[in-house]
Amino acid sequence: MQAPKRRTSKSKRDKRRAHDALRPVNVASCARCGEPTLPHRVCPHCGVYRGRQLVEAEA
């Protein structure tokens, strides 16, 4: 089992971690009620997805 020959520099380490940042959640507004929802999911407020009522709306 080999050990590292040279210490990894801060530059090399940080380049490797360049893609590890968290991205903000993409929020879309519901076409029917205007509430913020996640895309490609049933609206939790009105229960509509792509113009069809799929779930009973919360009261």
pLDDT, tens digit, for every residue of 8-47?
A: 999 999 999 999 999 999 999 998 899 999 999 999 899 9
Q: Where are the domains of the chain?
A: 25-59
pLDDT(59) > 70: no
Q: Rounded to an integer, what distance in angstroms lies between the CA atom of residue 49 and that of residue 34?
A: 13
Tokens of 52: 């069809």
Q: Rounded to an integer, what distance in angstroms lies between the CA atom of residue 47 and that of residue 14?
A: 44
pLDDT(57) > 80: no
Q: Provide the whole-model pTM.
A: 0.58
